Structure 1
Amino acid sequence: MGNKYVVVDLETNGNSPKKGDRIIQFAAVVIEDGKIVEEYSSLLNPLQPISPFIEELTGINDEMVESAPLFDEIAEKVQSLLKDAYFVAHNVMFDLSFLSDELEQAGFEGFYGPIIDTVEMARILFPTADSYKLTDLAIQENIEHDRPHQADSDAYVTAELLLIMLNKLEELPLQTIRQLESLSGALKSDLDQLLDQIAIKQQKTNSFMREGLEIYRGLALKLEDTGKAAKKNLQDYIEFNEKDIEDRMRQVLPNYVTRAGQQEMIQDVLKCFNGNIHGLIEAGTGIGKSLAYLLGAAYFAKKEKKQIVVSTFTTQLQEQLTHKDLPILESIIPFPIMSTVLKGRNHYISLDKFEVSLKEQDDNYDIVLTKMQILIWLTETQTGDKDELNLSSGGLKFWHKIKNNGNFSLPFSKEWVPKDFYRRTRNAAQKADIIITNHALMLNNLTADKGLLPNYEYAIIDEGHHFEKNAIKHFGHQFSYVGAKLSFQAIGTYEQKQLLYKLLSNFDEVHDEKNKLNRLLADLLLELDELFRTILRYVKRTANKSSNKASIRIKRDGSIQWNQMEIVAERFIFLLKDCKNALLQSLEAFYGKTDISALPMNQVLAADRIKGILEEWDKYMLTLRQIFLREEENITWLEVDWKSFPHQAVLYAQPHSVSELLLTHLFAKKKSVVFASATLTVNNSFDYYVKALGLAETNHVEKQIPSPFQYDKQVRLIVPDEVPEINNVPLGEYIEAVTGHIVTIAQATSGRMLILFTSNEMLKKTYELIKEKGSLLDYAILAQGITTGSRMRLTRNFQRYDKAILLGTNSFWEGIDIPGEDLTCLIIVRLPFSSPDEPLNEAKNERIKTLGGNPFLENSLPEAVLRFKQGFGRLIRTETDKGFIVILDRRILTTTYGETFLKSIPHVPLIRKKLDDIEFFIKEWI
């Protein structure tokens, strides 16, 4: 590439040249003819002190710049470097505005030539990268980056990255280059000129497309890899041999140590499958359960020629199995195995819709960038699965327009069927030995007429403790005010209405039909508001408005308010049905009388969207019937935010129990379903889950495999003496006492502390009080719902600081993994009992009482113990971890049920001391 590129990086004493911040280091790397030809860097004297934060970030201090030149002295050199070049930087606008400002102050012209932002370019060319930070991209591309945040090092790394990206551009097919060029006008970077040069060069040299790609209907796609399928029967099954597997694991896994529990679990899975019996396996932390059940599944699948479905709780866990555990499995077993991942349809791209979207003119930056990302991704992906992509929030909105929803309604849709990723994945699932899916899809499959999964007989359910709650959600229903309103308004948008009027022009009385439709839509919106007004009148009688958010039970109680709700709900359902039927007639007439291939694409897509909306309306009618018009008892409730009623109001209906449903749809139909989790027992008994899942009536195996960790040596459990009993003092006083303990213990452990709460309100008040006390000013204090960021981002930030404290609630009790010294202390503020007023809990407890049971022992206590075990499991993640668990809820010692909590976790020494002694003990033990 004959262009000249100057890659610039600056270190500055702040973010704003307008406020007087100055450059303290300038660096430039010059690239010509695809090679680095010059490097230049200089420290600069900003004539102002360097702030401590910048000194810590860059390693540059006042002393180092004292005798350095002023910017004026190097301005001419800078300008000569930039002459006739592309100005390139990582976040180009920052460096460009700073540098232009300094050049103008020095009496020179700012830079007005072409620019390239390597962040933007990386987002396009590496659409699946986890992060677009320079340090992360350097790791991804194997570029050595030894001094981040020093301009000379950053500039050199950015230059290396640019060369890799220019190279990647040149290897793209001409078709893709031209498509990128047509979109590049909306970018910050001046890529259009560059792309045009590459295209002309390719046309001149008549360069061939790189291997493994094809052009299909104008899109460059990666050819399907059929190598795996061909390899499938190369080798026959080899009988399972424990010693052989151990030897292979030793070769494949670094630092492998024999784990008796892992070998035991492989045998347990095989016993269940061979005996056609269901199983529950509680495998302690550190056993390596994923690999254990995958090995059992692989041997059984290969020997018996049966398919095994492995279901996980989330798609993230699916990813972990696919990218981490399955490659290890394949390198250990002595025969080839075929595995595939299957997710819900809308995880996959619809190539026909994407083809249409490329013809639509868009000046929205996020949409253009996402289209460019997808063009690159299609030359690389084998799956077409959105989870591979790193999309912005605007990009995710665009995805909803091009995701696969099964409606092949475009004139040329059928031509895309052979290339359809979702179809390809389903075909792969038919041939696979192991299919990885998630609980939601597996549950959908149980009751769907035509399920997505092949007809399997054997399954492993990982994170099995979530399955019952997922099943309750799956067999339940929900109806939100905003969701319904948006779908009614979507029919009424200009684009949809234009289409509808076109549809209606198929009829004789166009005018009447238009009016009828407009009237129906207007009435629907009025009735929706009326429905939620009557719901508000009903819940107001029992609602506690002390906090903004509330969950309020709704049950047939014969009150006037209930009868009003029933009447309005029935009227609303009839109106919705009328509206749906009117639209359906129009659509059927449209599809019956119209040559779809002659229509503009936006009209075909709009008709497709209307079809989707009408399917949603069917679900709305079903939900409202379940809540208001059915005799059978579901648990129904309203979740509401009083500040924005009815906009955040959602109605829910869920079954009391799924045991019979699971028995009918899962256990009676499958030969062997094995549940695996680290938390399936309460006080060493599986009874709670056996009953909840519907396994009580079946012949099944129960097995506990203890963790290989030496908890008695690695952990100390501390219960302080001075913390007041939680139920004996006002909440404010309890929080005051808790905060005092947290501050003292944090100083003893130098942070590295995770604090688990059971309510957002308590977390918030404790956080504010810690800040107010001012004793931990040099600590990074991160709190869920207060500090911005997802759970994973908060966890990463926690690991980044030396002295860090992380406050978390609900989702932090499980699934976060902080091994090593980053986490030394876990504090459990109160035992994790759910509120008895929470609708699901209240209804479950009522039902147990009606059946003559004890709600506390049968529901509240087991739920809390299982949650407690999950929290306990956060501290020790490896054989070398060491730390403290501090429980600030004295009920663990003062009540009879406290013993159930202690007996349900591994045995660890229990320390009871006063706060001063605890501080001394912690320092000494660390």
Structure 2
Amino acid sequence: MFMNKKTIYSVVDLEATGTDASADDRIIQFSCTFVQDQKIIDSFSTLINPLKAIPERITQLTGITNAMVKNAPSFRDIASLLYHMLQNTVFVAHNVNFDFPFLNYELKQIGYPQLKIKAIDTVTMSQILLPTLPSYQLRRISSYFNIIHKHPHSASSDAYATAYLLILLINRLRSLPYDTLKGIIKIQPKLPRNTMEMFKDTLQQVKDIHRPLSSYLRVKRGLVLRRNNINRRHDDKTTYKFPTSKPEKLRLYQSQLEWYPQQAKMMNEIYRNYTKDKKPSNWMFEVAMGMGRKIGYTLPLAYLSHNQHQVVIISTASKLLRKQLWDQTIPTLNNLLPFHVSKLIIKDSANYIDLNRYFNTLRVHEKSNQTQLVKAMILVWLTITTTGDLNELHINPKIPYLNEVRHYQDQTQHRHNPFYYQDFIRQHQIAAHRVNFIIVSHSYLCTHAKELSHLSKHPYLVIDEADKLPQAEISQYRFNFNLNLINIETRKIMGDLHQTHNHNLYDILPNHFTVRRKLKLIQGALAELSRAYQKIMYRFSITFLQRRLLTPVGKHMLTMPSLKKFQKYINKENPNFQVLNHDINIIKKITNYFQDMSGKRSYRRINRLEMDNYYHHVSMLINAKDMFNAIIDQIQSHPENCIFKAITNEPHNVASCYLKGGLISIGNHLEKDLYQYFRPMIFTDHALMVNGAKLTNSRMKLPLSNTRQKSDLDKISEAKPAINVYQTSSLFHQPDQYCKALATLILAKASKKPQRLLVGFSSLKLMTGTFNVLTDVDQVEEPVYALGINGSKKRILKRLTNAQRAIVFTNLTWFNQLNFNYPKEFGELIIADLPLDTNENMYYKAKVHQIKQSHQDVKRLMQLPEIILIIKRSLNYLPTHKNRLVIFDGRILNHPYFKQFARALPQGVIINQRKVKFNG
């Protein structure tokens, strides 16, 4: 045992000329902080002359220059001191597999024996013990725990921060329940060096002191779970008066909230709508940023929810807004109101852990080190989480193991499940009837509206970020379907029946006549559906995937068959589709029988992991069948309003074929799927109104007779913002010249002062062209980051963390998201081009065709609303951008609806025309 009060931990950080000692990289700084009995007892730091030049990139990263190490000791000069300093200590580093081997290699190079001391790693310890951190970079962890870390990538600062992190980790390790520690050791994650010994030593210490389990925890089958304290409405029967007047509101605010007249009007309108008006109306509120929109609707609805015992559902498009409501808005209400309001976030079932599936995976030791590490992380996380939402772990969702432990169906688990009463989805279903506020995404709302409407007698519904709702709704009717998916899942189930490398269903299930007969039925159904599907796919191949019908596009080939041809194909194959559905339903019924049967006492020895895999494969087959049926239903029911294309790698290759398509326009689906289930609703956003009430309501599919609108963008008007529009219409048909002119403008603005410039594009072609121009120019001092060209969203945000100067190119969607998330991070905003061209998106082109067929104006119905909303969203951020927005696309000046566009903007917005300073 090395984890005791006498143990001295030497917490080391090295800076070097590179990352590979064997490639002649050398140490340039050594720092060590000593920890004993949870206290820092000493420290040591020195620069080291590497006897070679320090690369410029290392100097930029660490701040260590060649001049600084010129008179510093060489490694040979101080090797003896370091070697003896570290003897009889436990070596600690944040990524020990870099620092420890690097140091030993340097010692070996000058004839010293390698250090034989124990070494532990704080990265993997942090991952297991602090599983919900968004990042395990030392700088991020230090910021999260307020550890003083003034100079990241300075060895002395890093060693000091890692020492404090070690103390925190040891405290956390000692606080873990005995069963959790025992479970981690049983999982045996492969941790660097001697890190696992820390867990084993702690287990022994915890065992010796017989510490009782905390009251907020409970043990179920060896898993330590946090007790789910259902967040419910309090049993306060008092009816509270809503503060309608300014003095009443100010007394309630207690100086914790600023007074905004527009916000107060919004509150009163909402409260009056549901209490005073004989017939409530739908309300649309367009509210400028910084005017307290979220408090504006949650405060009056909190009174209504409490006094009437009704649920309030808030739907948003972005995770960020849901987080703000959860972390800031509703806690603020609880600080102000004379009563308590409760909250709950509900997501699709796949977001949540299935405790039984996770428990069953613990019986198998995986060869994957990553999988075993994730198992250990989840074990600790279960002592923390009250939601069971796997997103709390910030693990890459593409890790295959996560799919093994997710819920794969919405329905509540069977009662025979040993974790039935602890199941997180079941707990949410219970809590949903007892809370004041339920927060969901637009996509969840669109697919679960009827279910949500039953949570109370007359639930209230707020749709924030309402402009994104139509897209969320139509997305439910668009597909990207792998035609080979049914074959893939069928083969997996056949494998479950007959596999020889592991237990199959015949091995696992009881040797009982009824069970064997049902397995034979599954086997027959699989064979029959496989034959039927092969016929379906063969006819699809000869009907749609002949070479003469395909058009090469990049690495793929595609065809866009007529809907009449599709319908003819469906009608011919209808007998085979019926066989397919019939056989899958047989498999589904027998699977339900097995699930019910496994709860009986005589069958409890069933191998749960293999059965879970089988259940999952059946669920995936049913989902694939349902998706294919939905596509067929669309083609048959809405031939005039849907479009599909088939994409394949080569002619007749149906195995690689995807069917992509769906509805062109939203039709009456919002009314049918959502609106009919709720009383009149509240819609709100920073940019919501377009050219007149009729067009606005038409976009949201709301009736004019029962919808009221209010736009409060006074904050924008008070700032007197200016839009500088450049006269570039003549250049637009010469893309090369347009890109050069835009690059010239960007360079001019970047050269004025150090700043981060944000440039939004509608056209990827123009973004690529401008990027190429800028990156070919020698005088560009700022790094240029272009979304989808030289970086993903995550990578660009990471690079921006330390960049004082940068030019960021993005599409217009992320352009506004960046402004919303990081309002003070950028200088001037530039919109490079507006969506005035015919979009290559197949849905867009099809919708244009629809509008033309109905003899309506595409520019009025499609272009104008989109442009107005893009500009309005950007105007919301102008108070933090010195009130200037640049539109480089001069075509808007000649647009036939330019006057309507200008009238739709907030009052006081000045549109300036600018000439392009460009020599070609």
Match in the other structure for 1:905: 905
Contact 1:43 1:65 in 2 (8 A): yes
Change (3 A) 1:512 1:58: closer
Letter in 2 for 1:43: L
1:763 paired to 2:767 = yes
Change (3 A) 1:512 1:290: closer
Larger mean Cα displacement after TM superposition, 859-868 or 66-75:
859-868
Task: Give, in angstroms, the shift of residue 800 of structure 1.
Answer: 3.4
Contact 2:47 2:73 in 1 (8 A): yes
Contact 1:457 1:669 in 2 (8 A): no
Match in the other structure for 1:689: 696
Letter in 2 for 1:287: M
1:826-905 pair list within 5 angstroms? 826-833=829-836, 835=838, 838-873=841-876, 875-876=877-878, 879-905=879-905
2:27, 2:542 → 1: CA distance? 60
Task: Give, in angstroms, the shift of residue 296 of structure 1.
Answer: 2.1
Q: Of residues 464, 469, 472 in structure 1, which corresponds to 2:471?
A: 469
Task: Give, in angstroms, the shift of residue 460 of structure 1.
Answer: 0.6
1:49, 1:642 → 2: CA distance? 51
Match in the other structure for 1:814: 816
1:525-564 pair list within 5 angstroms? 527-528=536-537, 531=540, 534-537=543-546, 540=549, 554-557=561-564, 562=566
Match in the other structure for 1:752: 756
Task: Give, in angstroms, the shift of residue 440 of structure 1.
Answer: 1.7
Secondary structure of the structure 2 residue equivalent to 1:636: strand
Secondary structure of the structure 1 residue equivalent to 2:188: helix
Task: Give, in angstroms, the shift of residue 324 of structure 1.
Answer: 2.2
Q: Deviations over 1:705-757 (max 9, x none)?
A: 114145654x4322234x34355x24334333333333333323545211111
Contact 1:813 1:867 in 2 (8 A): no
1:905, 1:108 → 2: CA distance? 74
Contact 1:780 1:803 in 2 (8 A): yes
Change (3 A) 1:758 1:6: same
Letter in 2 for 1:267: N
Contact 2:725 2:886 in 1 (8 A): yes
1:186, 1:337 → 2: CA distance? 45
Contact 1:236 1:335 in 2 (8 A): no
1:657 paired to 2:657 = no
Task: Give, in angstroms, the shift of residue 26 of structure 1.
Answer: 0.3
2:649, 2:768 → 1: CA distance? 19
2:572, 2:787 → 1: CA distance? 40
Letter in 2 for 1:725: S
Match in the other structure for 2:442: 439
Match in the other structure for 1:422: 425
Change (3 A) 1:96 1:62: same
Q: Deviations over 1:326-364 (max 9, x none)?
A: 212221223211222222222222212222122222231
Letter in 2 for 1:607: Y
1:829, 1:583 → 2: CA distance? 55
Contact 1:781 1:804 in 2 (8 A): yes
Task: Give, in angstroms, the shift of residue 269 of structure 1.
Answer: 2.1
Secondary structure of the structure 1 residue equivalent to 2:817: coil
Secondary structure of the structure 2 residue equivalent to 1:306: coil
Match in the other structure for 1:672: 680
Match in the other structure for 1:602: 609
1:490, 1:606 → 2: CA distance? 9
Match in the other structure for 2:483: 481
Change (3 A) 1:552 1:744: farther
Task: Give, in angstroms, the shift of residue 609 of structure 1.
Answer: 1.6
1:760, 1:485 → 2: CA distance? 37
Secondary structure of the structure 2 residue equivalent to 1:800: coil
Match in the other structure for 2:225: 221
Larger mean Cα displacement after TM superposition, 743-752 or 70-79:
743-752
Secondary structure of the structure 1 residue equivalent to 2:34: strand
Match in the other structure for 2:70: 66
Give ranges in structure 1 of 5+ residues lacking alignment: 919-926
Contact 2:233 2:435 in 1 (8 A): no
Q: Deviations over 1:486-542 (max 9, x none)?
A: 43443344677563566799557999985884575477467547635643459947x
Task: Give, in angstroms, the shift of residue 430 of structure 1.
Answer: 0.4
1:105 paired to 2:109 = yes
1:71-110 pair list within 5 angstroms? 71-110=75-114
1:794-809 pair list within 5 angstroms? 794-795=796-797, 797-798=799-800, 800-809=802-811
Task: Give, in angstroms, the shift of residue 423 of structure 1.
Answer: 1.6
1:470-509 pair list within 5 angstroms? 470-476=472-478, 478-481=480-483, 483-484=485-486, 486-493=488-495, 497=499, 499=504, 506-507=515-516
1:716-755 pair list within 5 angstroms? 716-721=722-727, 723-725=728-730, 729-748=733-752, 750-755=754-759
Match in the other structure for 1:201: 205
Secondary structure of the structure 2 residue equivalent to 1:598: coil
Match in the other structure for 2:369: 365
Change (3 A) 1:497 1:304: same
Change (3 A) 1:641 1:865: farther
Contact 1:531 1:569 in 2 (8 A): no
Q: Of residues 592, 597, 613 in structure 1, which corresponds to 2:620?
A: 613
Task: Give, in angstroms, the shift of residue 118 of structure 1.
Answer: 1.0
1:581-660 pair list within 5 angstroms? 581=585, 583-584=587-588, 587=591, 596-630=603-637, 633-638=640-645, 640=647, 647=656, 649-654=658-663, 656-658=665-667, 660=668
1:617, 1:244 → 2: CA distance? 57
Secondary structure of the structure 2 residue equivalent to 1:466: helix
Match in the other structure for 1:46: 50
Aligned residue pairs: how many? Answer: 897
Secondary structure of the structure 2 residue equivalent to 1:732: helix
Larger mean Cα displacement after TM superposition, 691-700 or 804-813:
691-700
Secondary structure of the structure 1 residue equivalent to 2:31: strand
2:753, 2:575 → 1: CA distance? 63
Q: Of residues 12, 17, 23 in structure 1, which corresponds to 2:21?
A: 17
Secondary structure of the structure 1 residue equivalent to 2:799: helix
Contact 1:272 1:674 in 2 (8 A): no
Task: Give, in angstroms, the shift of residue 160 of structure 1.
Answer: 0.8
Letter in 2 for 1:618: K
1:289, 1:95 → 2: CA distance? 50
Change (3 A) 1:147 1:458: same
Larger mean Cα displacement after TM superposition, 583-592 or 304-313:
583-592
Change (3 A) 1:607 1:76: same
Letter in 2 for 1:428: A
Task: Give, in angstroms, the shift of residue 819 of structure 1.
Answer: 5.0
Q: Of residues 182, 187, 195 in structure 1, which corresponds to 2:186?
A: 182
Larger mean Cα displacement after TM superposition, 277-286 or 686-695:
686-695
Secondary structure of the structure 2 residue equivalent to 1:186: coil
Match in the other structure for 2:267: 266
Task: Give, in angstroms, the shift of residue 583 of structure 1.
Answer: 3.4
Larger mean Cα displacement after TM superposition, 593-602 or 617-626:
593-602
Match in the other structure for 2:323: 319
Secondary structure of the structure 1 residue equivalent to 2:581: helix
Contact 2:263 2:293 in 1 (8 A): yes
Secondary structure of the structure 2 residue equivalent to 1:431: coil
1:342 paired to 2:346 = yes
Match in the other structure for 1:354: 358
1:609, 1:496 → 2: CA distance? 17
1:25-40 pair list within 5 angstroms? 25-40=29-44
1:509, 1:472 → 2: CA distance? 40
Task: Give, in angstroms, the shift of residue 178 of structure 1.
Answer: 0.7
2:645, 2:304 → 1: CA distance? 47
Q: Deviations over 1:562-608 (max 9, x none)?
A: 57744676466345335525634764675688754232223321331
Q: Of residues 786, 789, 795 in structure 2, which corresponds to 1:783?
A: 786
Letter in 1 for 2:93: A
Name the % identity: 23
Contact 1:338 1:433 in 2 (8 A): yes
2:436, 2:597 → 1: CA distance? 47
Secondary structure of the structure 1 residue equivalent to 2:540: helix
